[in-house]
Amino acid sequence: MSATTLARWLPEAGQITVLTGAGISTDSGIPDFRGPQGVWTKDPAAAAMSTIGSYLADPEVRRRAWRSRRDHPAWDAEPNAAHAALVDLERAGRLRALITQNIDGLHQRAGSSPETVIEIHGTMREAECLACGLRTPMPEVLARVEAGEEDPPCPECGGIQKSATISFGQALKEDVLEAAVVAARSCDLFVAVGTSLTVQPAAGLCLEAVETGVRLVILNAEPTPYDGLADAVLRKPIGETLPRLVELALGTSR
C-alpha cells in the first residue's frame, strides 16, 4: 500500500489499537534486549536473570538482577516523539488500547492513561513478591538495595521479590492477555510498532486482528513474519514516522 493510500484511509480508520515493542523505546536510549544487537544475544548471563527457574534457585542471580534493575537505563530515560504521538491519539478519542511488550513504563510517563495501557510483559516500575503477590513501587525496593540489602525479601511474608515483569518460564497474566486479545479484535485498525513479532502473545495478536477483519499496519525497522498479512508495511524510523501517521489519522498534518 502506498503512502497516498495510507493518507486516504487513516483519517477514516476509527478506533485504533496500537501494539508497541522495544523499537519505540530505543530512541529514548533503552536498548532492545532481544534484537540482533540485543543484550541477551550477547550475554547469556543476562538471560539467566530473566529466567524464573534460575532466579528462584540462585541467590547470586537475584543479587545480580537487583543491581541490574538499579542500573536500568529506563530510570533516566525520557519518552520520545513516538510515545507523545500516542498520547495525542488517545486525547483525540481514537486510541482503543495501547498494548505494549515494554516494561519501561514510558507510555505512562509520556501521558498515556494507565487504563489505556496494557502491559503484556508487566512493568519494571513495581516489585512483586513471588510468594504472596504484594506489589511495591520499585524505587522503594531499590532504596533497600542501595542501603545494603543485596536481595531484599518481601516486607510482609519474607518471600523472594522480583520486578513485576513476566520472566521466561512464567505464565502471562490471564486477565491482561484477555484484555489484549479483546483490544486486538475490537478495533478498526491495528498498528504494530517497533516489534519483531516473533514473541508470543504479541505475534498472535496480529493474527487475532486480521482474522477479525481488522486492518493491519506494521512499522518496524526489520521484516516481521506478519508482513505478508499486513495492509501496509513501513520500514522507517519510528520517532518520525509514528507522529506522521498519527497526524494523518487526526487530520492535523500539514
Q: How far is CA 218 from CA 23, 48, 52, 174, 226, in A?
A: 12, 31, 31, 26, 8
Contact with Zn ion (CB under 5 A) among 157, 178, 198, 212: 157
Decide: is 129 part of the binding site for Zn ion (CB under 5 A): yes
Please give the sequence-ordered ranges of beta strands (E in DSSP) within 59-183, or none if there are none.
95-100, 117-119, 122-129, 135-137, 161-165
Total site size for Zn ion, rule CB under 5 A = 8
Distance CA 43, CA 33 (A): 10
Decide: is 140 part of the binding site for Zn ion (CB under 5 A): no
Site of grid cell 529514548: 28
Q: Does 157 carry a binding-site annotation?
A: yes
**Is residue 121 annotated as a catalytic residue, yes or no?**
yes
Give the interface segment with Zn ion, choosing from 48-56, 111-119, 154-162, 236-244 (CB under 5 A). Answer: 154-162
Judged by beta carbon, residue 129 or residue 142, the one nearer Zn ion is 129
Give the interface segment with Zn ion, choosing from 100-108, 147-155, 203-211, 228-236 (CB under 5 A). Answer: 147-155
**Strand order from edge to edge, sheet including 161-165:** 135-137, 122-129, 161-165
Decide: is 143 part of the binding site for Zn ion (CB under 5 A): no
Decide: is 131 part of the binding site for Zn ion (CB under 5 A): yes
Burial 143-169 (b: 16+ CB within 10 A, else e): ebbeeeeebbebeeeebbbbbbbbbee
Given the residues 72, 83, 107, 121, select the one marked as catalytic: 121
Distance CA 161, CA 93 (A): 38
Cα–Cα nearest to 234, from 192, 200, 187, 202: 192
Q: Nearest distance from residue 141's CB to Zn ion, in Å?
A: 12
Q: Does 154 carry a binding-site annotation?
A: yes
Q: Nearest distance from residue 127's CB to Zn ion, in Å?
A: 10
User: Which residues of this protein are in contact with Zn ion, per CB under 5 A?
Assistant: 129, 131-132, 134, 154, 156-157, 159
Annotated binding site for Zn(2+): 129, 132, 154, 157
Q: Which amino acids are annotated catalytic?
A: 121
